[in-house]
Structure 1
Amino acid sequence: MAPQLVVHAAPPASTAFTPTTLGPLTLKNRFIKAATFEGRMPRGEVTDDLVDFHLEVARGGAAMTTVAYCAVSPGGRVHRDTMVLDRRRAGDLRRLTDAVHAENTLVCAQIGHAGLVANTRSNRMATLAPSTRISAPAMGLVRAATVAQLGEVVDDFGTAARNAVEAGFDAIEVHLGHGYLVSSFFSPNLNKRTDQFGGDTVRRAELARRVVERVRREAGDGVAVTAKFNMDDGVRGGFWLTDSLPTARLLESDGHLDALELTGGSSLLNPMYYFRGDVPMAEFIASQPAIVGLGLRIVGPRMFRTYPFEEAFFLPLARQFRDALTMPLILLGGVNTMETVDTAMAEGFEFVAMGRALLRDPMLVDKFRRGSTREGLCVHCTKCMATIYDGTRCVLRERDVEKES
């Protein structure tokens, strides 16, 4: 009997490289560069280095890159080197958005108010909280915001949205996560108010709903509006699925958002929950002034808990939202392989967002598309966390560049 010819079928093409819509936009593929504080805006100014950071991502094949973090007011900065998305910076940001657009890539502005995460000494101005409490990042007591002050916050988000449109951004991501101001109102651990902004789940969601409604109104119909949304604070007594799922349903029912990007953890109380991997404590201490480094030696081990890295570590939580919602969802957290991307697409997530994987290799999306690799190079050491003060980067990639030169 003659030997039979065995024909191996080619693997099916990934749906991750098919264009799809996000509100009024059409994205060329399903990959979004997640907001990662770039550390390239001294005193909050737009620099060539900041433009180049996002140009590299655009040339690497992502459909959209996200500029982070754009504060809605001076008091809402994380520290003095955070950009405020005011009218002047909007003009300066035009060269960034124009440059990214020239690479056939869209660009998003993440806007927010740092709240309890704001370093008041660096900013030289007070910040706001749902309820009065001590904040380590603020280095002191932060007082509860008045109703009038919250009205100003809503106005500030609206102004920042208008400025984002003026700057040429295609999308606006409202920061509703990580213990920043609006996120902190969700948390029963941080929000002890008894007025219309505190109490049950619905009242704790009131500020977020007002903010998102204002951003949508000011942004208009030509810009996508998304939100980075906490599923779980990773803190005992904090925001968890029993609150976050009904809150997400409220945001969906309001109809102002084009997608939710699902995240978790608290920059205030548990930041490693949304990073996962080794804690770069020695590098953190070395990057800080001596007095701050001493404080980190004392409180760092309690604040920076260890969570072993797992691929797609937020997927089990995100599945709860995919089951409960019909709106588009963006999967974030440990997306490093094409297998993970294809799983996300198969389970009904419209997009994936990547942070550290693209710091390690900005060309990764294009390599996925060409089939030259199916896994990124990130080793999840998290040493990039300590570089945010002088230019966020992958320390391994930095060594690669040094070898090439």
Structure 2
Amino acid sequence: MAPSVFSPVGLGPVRLRNRTVKAATFEGRTPDGEVTDALIDYHRAPARGGIGLTTVAYLAVAPEGRTHAEQIVLGPRALPGLTRLTEAVHDEGAAVAGQVGHAGPVANGRSNGIRAISASSLPSPLSMQMIKTATEQDLTRVTRAYVDAARLLVRARFDVLELHMAHSYLISSFLAPGLNRRKDRWGGPLERRARLARQVARAVREEVGDAMALTAKVSVSDGFRGGVTTDEGLELARLLEADGHLDALQLSGGSSLMNPMYLFRGETPVAEFADAMPPIVRWGMKTPFGRGFLKRYEFEEGYFRDKALRFRHELSMPLMLLGGINRLDTMERAIADGFDFVAMGRAVLREPDLVNRLQLGISRAGICTHCNRCMPTIYTGTRCVEWGPGETIPVA
């Protein structure tokens, strides 16, 4: 018999009160690159609302690794605020994860004031600059930065560190053959393209030991030609499992650079996105290419389940299912399928107290309509547009 979604569960050295995870979705609440009271409240709400683990996104390991200048770079300056955040979440009975990564080609070099780097050079639609090919020195420096970031998160009392290996961020850009055209030891067959992912996971595990759980977000499919396919995602997962450095994998998909709507199924708010962008990007989004960038995928409950089941059938390590999870029966089916955790984004953004409502029998499903109009709000404070006037975040 499958365990209850609401039963306590171990994640590496961490004990969670239940099997629900608030997935990392950029909060838009760090205008000066520092933790704010608004960011703390953003995570306190789902913690108070019953979530087992809430994930802080997105914590950059280096200045050029931010998607834009308002994100937190992990360093001594960030420690006091991050410690306040973890204390607030712990006071509500939940655990807290930090999503750690390097944005690579998804970084806006013009905003950051530093050119972005990637597996191979390519033009950036965000900054209208050329993205540089990462050098050996860059990769050594970035790997060390992951280690330094992990040390900081241990000091800030995070329970879990999530390595971002998806969505065309730096590590993912090495994994995708269409973005990695290298002829050196970092390119070619997947085993070489996976070198950076495995190197970072090993280095971070050696640093943190059993002081915190270590997970990674990986792709079940990038959703574009030249991206990581399901077969390649599964091959990567096998390598990571064999290495033994990770406590779980979170199964995601899509590409923030090439096909973001592959992850965010449902309505496509093109006009709202264009209005939120700088003038030159706004103009580009009105061109045929720009309109084609935000493809439309019909929403269906648990839309990554079929691909994720291939991972579940071939791996023994703990897995987190993500993608269109809004209903209690979807969660129960996921646990019955053998997934260890269920991760939610928009559903919990709409209702921070959703887990409590489901557990108490008040609701059987969330009320998010997947209009995706929350997506453009990441630039002004991520929120559900259905919240009341002037409301910053519902109190669970």
Q: Distance in 1 between matches of 2:109 and 2:166?
A: 20
The 1:291/1:201 distance shift into structure 2, 3 A limit, reads closer
Displacement of 1:143? 1.7
Long gaps (5+) in structure 2: none
Mapped to 1, the partners of 2:390 and 2:5 lie a distance apart of 29
Q: 1:74: which partner in 2?
A: 63
Q: Is the counterpart of residue 123 in structure 1 residue 84 in structure 2?
A: no
| Aligned residues between the structures | 392
Deviations, residues 327-348 of structure 1 (Å, cap 9, x unaligned)? 0000000000001000000000
1:263 aligned residue: 252
Partner Cα separation in structure 2 for residue 224 and residue 253 of structure 1? 17
Give the match for residue 342 of structure 1.
332
Q: 354, 361, 378: which is aligned to 1:371?
A: 361
- The superposition leaves residues 263-316 of structure 1 with CA deviations (integer Å, 9 ceiling, x where unpaired) of 111111000000011111111112223333112212321211111111000101
What is the CA–CA distance in structure 1 between the aligned matches of 2:390 and 2:364, rounded to whole Å?
A: 20
1:5-404 maps to which residues of 2 (within 5 A)? 15-298=4-287, 299-399=289-389
Instruction: Tell me the TM-score normalized by structure 1.
Output: 0.94
How far is 1:397 from its partner? 2.1
- Letter of the 1:370 counterpart: L
Q: TM-score, normalised by structure 2?
A: 0.96
Structure 1: stretches of 5+ with no match in the other structure: 1-11
Give the secondary-structure state (helix, strand or coil) at the position aligned to 1:344: helix
Extract structure 1 runs of 4+ deviating beyond 3 A: 398-402
Q: Deviations over 1:36-75 (max 9, x none)?
A: 1000000211100000000001000001100000000101
- Contact 1:116–1:138 (Cα < 8 Å) also in 2: no
Q: Amino acid of the residue matched to residue 271 of structure 2? A: A
Residue identity in the other structure for 2:73: V
CA contact (8 A) 1:117 1:138 kept: no
Aligned partners of 1:194, 1:302: CA distance in 2, in Å?
31
Contact 2:98 2:161 in 1 (8 A): yes
Residue by residue, what CA displacement relative to the aligned partner does 1:356-386 show, whole Å, maximum 9, x if unpaired? Answer: 0001000000001101111001000000001
Aligned counterparts of 1:392 and 1:256: Cα–Cα separation in 2: 33
Q: CA deviation at 1:220?
A: 2.1
Q: Cα offset for 1:393? A: 0.4
For residues 162-219 of structure 1, what are the alpha-carbon distances to aligned partners after superposition, in whole Å with 9 as ceiling and x for unaligned?
A: 1111111010000000000001100111111111111101000000000111111122
Alpha carbons 1:281, 1:300 under 8 Å: kept: no
How far apart, in 2, do the equivalents of 1:400 and 1:152 lie?
43
SS at match of 2:285: helix
Structure 1 residues 256-265 or 139-148, which shifts more? Answer: 139-148
Aligned residue number for residue 8 of structure 1: none
Match of 1:6 in 2: none
Alpha-carbon distance change, 53 to 211 in structure 1, aligned in 2, over 3 angstroms:
same
Hey, what's the Cα distance between the residues in 1 that align with 2:128 and 2:207?
34
Residue range with higher mean Cα deviation, 297-306 or 393-402: 393-402
% identical equivalent positions: 51
The 1:145–1:400 alpha-carbon spacing in structure 2 relative to 1, beyond 3 Å, is closer
